[in-house]
A and B are shown apart, each in its own frame.
Chain A
Amino acid sequence: MFATATVAVIIAMVLALVRAFSGPSLYDRVLAGNSFGTKTVLLIGIMGFLTGRPDFLDIALLYALINFAATIAILRFFSYRQPKGAPAEPRPVKPSGSEAS
């Protein structure tokens, strides 16, 4: 049963890799990296049960935390581009009262 699950997770990893290679937009690649991290967490968990030593399950949980924080940190770098018609304003240095969309 665990062997089947391992094969399934590895196939899912390959699929996420394909999206990371070919993903046309930037967010496809972010999502591919995030889901690949999730697959890594699953694979580490399954590998523990496959070898009969599920001691590393807490490590897998920590990976899930790191993966989440890393994705948030990556997405923090991007903000949505202004729509085409909008005038190109420089970003405000301080967040003033009006919300900068």
Chain B
Amino acid sequence: MTNGYEYEVSPILLVDLSLLTMLLVVAIAMLRSRHLFAVVMLSGIYSLLSAAFFVSLDAVDVAFTEAAVGAGVSTVLMLAGMLLTARREKPFESRRVPVARIAVFATGAALIYATIDMPGFGDPNAPANAYVGQAYVERTPSDIAVPNIVTAVLASYRGFDTLGEVLVVFTAGLAVLLLLGVGSARGGREVSDVDEESP
């Protein structure tokens, strides 16, 4: 590469590859399973895997949010929703699927095509690292005086943005609680070890 940045095969790269492979396998298993509880547990595992992947990308804050929200809160919320509806997904008709499938594949192909234009991973000349990001790195020690630059960006430089995000998340949580009902979140439900469909 001309910008002096190139890959080297490190142990972390192999860890990343195995993590991404497990992510793919879990995603396919979630798609194929009709047992909703298994899907909920697999989505928790998916969140844990992607959190580990984010840590290996040095995005610790994102990873922490993913583990807390993805593996913790959303698993419990999906369980609450599942227990209010059914434990198995209904078999679906495969008549009208092709339109949706074509749309999904076209969107995915467009997104993959768009990644060709993206700068290399960790490229110092990328727009994300060059302009305002560089200013954050240079000015955080004198402006904010906290060691973690991400925290400075989130809580100070983009404080209003973070406030809006927190508001959105809080509203969404309130709406989910209103939909599910507060009583559903406490107390046990009667479930069995074995599938009820196969006595």
Contact = CB atoms under 8 A, between A and B. Distances in A.
B57 to A, nearest CB: 11
Contacts of B68: 66
Contact of B12 (A21, A37, A50): A50
Contact of B79 (A40, A56, A67, A77): A77
B161 to A, nearest CB: 24
A8 interface: no
B79 A70 contact: no
A67 B52 contact: no
Nearest to A44: B55
Contacts of A77: 76, 79-80, 83, 188-189
Contacts, number: 107
Given A3-B11, A47-B56, A82 B72 contact: no
B38 to A, nearest CB: 6
B49 to A, nearest CB: 7
A100 B12 CA distance: 52
Interface string B67-104: 11001100110011001000000000000000000000
B67 A78 contact: no
B177 interface: no
A78 B15 contact: no
Interface in A76-98: 76-79, 81-82, 91
Interface in A43-78: 43-44, 47, 50-51, 56, 59, 62-63, 66-67, 69-70, 73-74, 76-78
Interface in B167-199: 186-194
B37 interface: yes
Contact of B41 (A6, A29, A50, A76): A29
A43 B164 CA distance: 34
Contacts of B190: 79, 81-82, 91
Q: Is the interface of A mostly helix, strand, loop or mixed?
A: helix
A7 to B, nearest CB: 9
Given A20-B41, A36-B45, A47-B15, A74 B191 contact: no
Contact of A63 (B18, B51, B194): B51
B157 interface: no
B136 interface: no
Interface of B: 11-12, 15, 18, 22, 25-26, 29, 37-38, 41-42, 44-45, 48-49, 51-52, 55-56, 60, 63-64, 67-68, 71-72, 75-76, 79-80, 83, 186-194
16 contacts: A6-B15, A20-B42, A21-B38, A25-B194, A33-B44, A36-B48, A40-B48, A40-B67, A50-B15, A59-B64, A67-B48, A67-B71, A76-B186, A79-B188, A79-B189, A81-B193
